[in-house]
Amino acid sequence: MPYLFTSESVSEGHPDKVADQISDALLDEFLKQDPQSKVACETLVTTGLVVLSGEVKSHAYVDVQKVAREVIRRIGYTKSEYKFDAEACGVISTIHEQSGDINQGVERENPEDQGAGDQGMMFGYATSETDSYMPLALEISHLLLKELAAIRKEGKEMTYLRPDAKSQVTIRYSDTHVPEKIDTIVISTQHDEFETSDATDRSASRQAEEKMVSKIKEDVLNILLPRVKSKLPQRTADLFAEDITYHINPTGKFVIGGPHGDTGLTGRKIIVDTYGGKGAHGGGAFSGKDSSKVDRSAAYAARHIAKNLVAAGVADQVLVQVAYAIGVAEPVGLYVTTYGTTKVKGANGETMTDGEIANKVNELFEMRPYDIVKRFGLQNPIFSETAAYGHMGREAGVKKVEFQVNGQKETREFETFTWEKLDYVDKIKAAFSL
């Protein structure tokens, strides 16, 4: 019997994402000056206030107030009526030095013996249902909000848009787990109060609110959705049938939003950051953490394994789990499941078990923290880009970073989203005789 699966996303102006982006911008600034920096920064944002906390061990000096304000300005909180804006908000820092007890388990005389920065389990997932090897509902949810933000920043259409927004997409799947159609789309976007009335006249206020919501729904259907569909492959665009159920600002007007409408915290959108509820999650957040924290680096490595396995044709779906003990370099375990979609055969001609696949993965991929960091260039300042619209499923690219060297400006380039590369496909095909 067909079934439904739902994923959500939040915009860069969502308060939790504001916090994530500030935390990762701070991390990048420390790494620009000192690639060996050990950082665990947490951010809280609320009405008119940003609070920075956490632990850092670094030779760098970072103007944390300036960094926070630059992020807030870039996102679009630049007006006093938002009750949270880049120029006027207070910024308080309580960042202090990393615990020596933790540091002694991470840094070693031989860098290759670097221990994991924490215990825990991390997951990576991939599926063949999209070209990015990501779950379809999450991919569409992210794209809806990326396009909505692009429209807002262009300032030509939907000029009433404010930075905060959420989306949700429900996909109907067949019995054989193939996407059949989009069932429901939910979009809630913050906006200006562009229709006003006498606040004491309830009927007039209700009519003004209904006019705003009606206009937003019309623009979502006629401006946003065509832009989204144009960026999707045909097999996905075809799923936008005429009988989709739309809920656009279903509670009514959404003027009060962002950190004024809801306090934001780093690390509260871990499912949005990963696979939208598909696969699994170990519970550890990413933003604000340097790569010695395996919560982040090993989750990237697990995604890289899963994606390359699916791309190589080992299975249609793959979930990889890796687990660590704090201060220990070698993982304590590695697990792989293909959900019964395995396509490879062993030496005996029978379908290879998930355990046999895991053994080969262990042979192909080095999972010590040191090797993960080197493989993906995770001591480079490449993390700000990850803090909105997902850490996985993004295109690998190049980021230009400006440095001050002996009083002179210098620009360097760093690869981004390196864990999304399909650079192990040939090795996997050879190992599995594909």
Q: Could you tell me the CA-to-CA distances from 325 to 54, 105, 203, 330, 332 in Å, in that order?
A: 22, 10, 62, 8, 7
For residue 275, being part of any structural domain is answered with: no
- Rounded to 10 degrees, the C-alpha dihedral 27/30/34/38 comes to -50
State the DSSP code for 128.
T
If asked whether residues 205 and 338 sit together in one domain, one would say no
State the DSSP code for 395.
P
Residue 420 CA, distance from chain mean position? 13
If asked whether residues 74 and 174 sit together in one domain, one would say no
Question: What tens-digit pLDDT sequence spans the chain (434 residues)?
Answer: 899 999 999 999 999 999 999 999 999 999 999 999 999 999 999 999 999 999 999 999 999 999 999 999 999 999 999 999 999 999 999 999 876 555 555 555 666 667 787 889 999 999 999 999 999 999 999 999 999 999 999 999 999 999 999 999 999 999 989 999 999 999 999 999 998 777 677 888 889 899 999 999 999 999 999 999 999 999 999 999 999 999 999 999 999 999 999 999 999 999 999 999 999 999 999 999 999 999 999 999 999 999 999 999 999 999 999 999 998 889 999 999 999 999 998 878 889 999 999 999 999 999 999 999 999 999 999 999 999 999 999 999 999 988 876 677 889 999 999 999 999 999 999 999 98
**Which of 209, 236, 257 is the C-terminal boundary of a domain?**
257
Q: Which positions make up the binding site for ATP?
A: 14, 164-166, 253-254, 262, 268-269, 285, 289
If asked whether residues 53 and 102 sit together in one domain, one would say yes
If asked whether residues 241 and 327 sit together in one domain, one would say no
- Residue 30: CATH number of its domain: 3.30.300.10
If asked whether residues 290 and 423 sit together in one domain, one would say yes
pLDDT of residue 108: 53
If asked whether residues 90 and 76 sit together in one domain, one would say yes
Q: Which positions make up the binding site?
A: 14, 16, 42, 55, 98, 164-166, 253-254, 262, 268-269, 285, 289, 293
- Domain extent, residue 390, equals 120-126+286-431
If asked whether residues 426 and 303 sit together in one domain, one would say yes
pLDDT of residue 405: 64
Q: Which positions make up the binding site for L-methionine?
A: 55, 98, 262, 293
If asked whether residues 87 and 157 sit together in one domain, one would say no
- What's the angle, vertex CA 274, arms to CA 269 and CA 277, rounded to 5? 85
Q: Are 9 and 257 in contact (CB under 8 A)?
A: no
How far apart are the C-alpha atoms of 184 and 201, rounded to whole Å?
Answer: 35
If asked whether residues 7 and 19 sit together in one domain, one would say no
Domain count, the chain: 3
If asked whether residues 182 and 218 sit together in one domain, one would say yes
**How do 179-191 and 245-248 pair as beta strands?**
parallel
pLDDT of residue 408: 76
If asked whether residues 353 and 417 sit together in one domain, one would say yes
Q: Which positions make up the binding site for Mg(2+)?
A: 16
As beta bridge partners, residue 334 has 322
pLDDT of residue 161: 98
